[in-house]
Amino acid sequence: MTSDHQLDLGRRGRLGMVEAIWGEHKSADQLARIISTLHGQGELALATRVNAEKAAATLSQLEGSGSVEVRYDAQAYCLHTAVLPAPDPALGTVTIVSGGSSDLCVAREAQLALQCHRISSELVLDVGVAGLHRLLDRLEQLRGASVLIACAGMEGALPTVLAGLLPQPIIGVPVSVGYGVSAGGQAALSGMLASCAPGLSVVNIDNGYGAAMAALRILNSGLNSGAGVEGP
C-alpha cells in the first residue's frame, strides 16, 4: 500500500508533534494508505473527524493488508494507532474541562491527541456555568494541572470563568452546540474572543486537536525555557 499524499514526516523532529490526518474529507482508501505509510515510517497515526461508517471501511482495508493495527475511538471520532505511548507526568499535565456531555467528542479528541504525545490528561465533564457550583467544587482539583483546555458551546462562558479564577494557561474551545442564535458555535467563539479575562487563548470551533497542540507547545516551552538563553 502506498500513499499519494506528501506527508510531513519531519514534523515531530521540527515541532515535537505527530502529523494528524484530517479524515472528514478523505475516503477510506486514502485513510488506509496514509495510515499504512505512517506506520511504515515508524510514526504514530491519528486521523480526526472520521465517522463510524468510514472508520469501519478503513479498518477493513488495513486488516486485509495486515500492515498495522488501528483502533477507532467512537467518542472522539478518531482512528489511531492501537498502541499509544505511556504518558510521562514529567512532561506536564493537562485537564480538559467541558460544560456538558455534548462537548465530549471535542474534549476526547483533545485528550487522544495529547495521549499521542505522552501528555498526562484527564477529563472533567459537566461543569458548565449553568450550574456554577459544580465548577467551584472542582477548583482545587483543577489547580493541579499545568494547562487547562475548556470546551463549551452555547454562549461559551466557561473559559472566561476559569480564566478569572485560575492562573494556569487556559485554552478555550468553542463547541458547535446550542440553540438558534448559537449558530453552530459562532456565539461561543465570539464570546471567548471578546472575553474580559486577560490571557485567555482561543482556538477555532470544535478544534480539540488544535487546543491539544497549543497545550503541547506551552508544555514544551516550559521544558525548554532555558534553551539558548545565556546567563548574566
The residue out of 51, 81, 111 marking a domain boundary is 81
Are 35 and 108 part of one and the same domain? no
What's the whole-model pTM score? Answer: 0.87
Asked whether residue 199 falls in the same domain as residue 116, the answer is yes
Predicted local confidence at residue 162, as pLDDT: 96
Mapping DSSP to helix (H, G, I), strand (E, B) and coil, where does residue 211 land? helix
Grid-cell match 463547541, residue found = 175
pLDDT in tens, the chain (232 residues): 444 567 777 677 777 788 888 999 999 999 999 998 888 888 889 999 999 999 999 999 888 666 678 999 999 999 998 888 899 999 999 999 998 888 899 999 999 999 999 999 999 998 888 889 999 999 999 999 999 999 999 988 999 999 999 999 999 999 998 898 899 999 999 999 999 999 999 999 999 999 999 999 999 987 554 433 333 2
Structural domain range at position 22 = 11-81
How many domains does the structure of the chain reveal?
2
Query: Is residue 183 packed enough to be buried (19+ CB in 10 Å), middle (13-18) or exposed (0-12)?
Result: middle
227 occurs within a structural domain: no
Let me know if residue 119 belongs to a domain. yes
Please report where in the chains the cell 491519528 appears, as a residue. Answer: 46
Q: Are residues 54 and 117 in the same domain?
A: no
90, three cell numbers: 514529567
Within a domain: 231: no
DSSP 30-62: HHHHHHHHHHHTT---EEES--HHHHHHHHHHH
**Among candidate residues 39, 60, 81, the one where a domain is terminated:** 81
Domain final residue pick, 64, 81, 98: 81
Asked whether residue 67 falls in the same domain as residue 101, the answer is: no
Q: In terms of domains, do 115 and 183 share one?
A: yes
Which string of b and e fits 59-89 if b means at least 16 CB within 10 Å?
bebbeeeebbebebbeebbbbbbeeeeeeee
Query: What is the predicted pLDDT for the residue at 214?
Result: 96
Helix or strand (DSSP H, E) at 104? helix 104-115
Tell me, yes or no, whether 62 and 115 share the same domain.
no
